[in-house]
Amino acid sequence: MRTTSSREVYRNPWIRVREDELVHEDGSTGLYGVVEREDFGLVVPVERDGFWLVEQFRYPLGRRCWEFPQGTWSHGGAGSAEDLARAELAEETGLRAAELRHLGHLDLAPGLSTQQFDVWLATGLTAGPTAREATEADMAQQFVPETELRRMIRDGEFTDAPSLAAFSLLLLERS
């Protein structure tokens, strides 16, 4: 596959959308839309026999969603993937981790987007103040025993794909 042209069709501070014209191996042409976003970090905060989750309103879905803490750097922020994980954990939950262990690096939606993410396991948690952004003002957090998280997954109450992928990595880590 060969890209013959590419043009930006939309941009805001969080995403860029481009449209690429392609020539396939068989000579046929095609058009592909690509969403470009910064990579993000996702943290699985583990304590006792459960996890700390956050819940917030997700505008595209029109509903509140439970997920593991996750996010990208705010404009002007920078640092390593581990720095981002520590920042997101503290910002969204107020928790600080004595230890972060990298569980994996995943593609979010490779058929649509360039965005990828790192998954971190956070242990040795201590409480502190949150520092949520204005867009996270409605965010709630809750400790959920693992048995409850598994029920939430089965019952369709915990549907965030990156969080589910992170949980899968944790289960593989344990086996």
**Residue 17: CB atoms within 10 Å:** 15
Q: What's the half-sphere exposure (Cβ side, CA atoms, 13 Å) at 125? A: 20
Place 133 in a pLDDT band, splitting at 50, 70 and 90.
Answer: confident
Whole-number Cα distances in Å, 161 to 23, 42, 104:
32, 11, 15
Instruction: Name the architecture of domain 40-174.
Output: Alpha-Beta Complex (3.90)
Quote the CA–CA distance of 2 and 74 in Å, as a whole number: 34
Residue 112 structure tokens: 């649509």
Q: What is the pLDDT of residues 43-100, one digit of tens each?
A: 999 999 999 999 999 999 999 999 999 999 876 678 899 999 999 999 999 999 999 9
Tell me: pLDDT of 132 over 90: no
Average the pLDDT over each of 15-29, 106-120, 124-138, 149-163 and give the range with the smallest value.
124-138
Domain boundaries in the chain? 2-36, 40-174
pTM exceeds 0.75, yes or no: yes
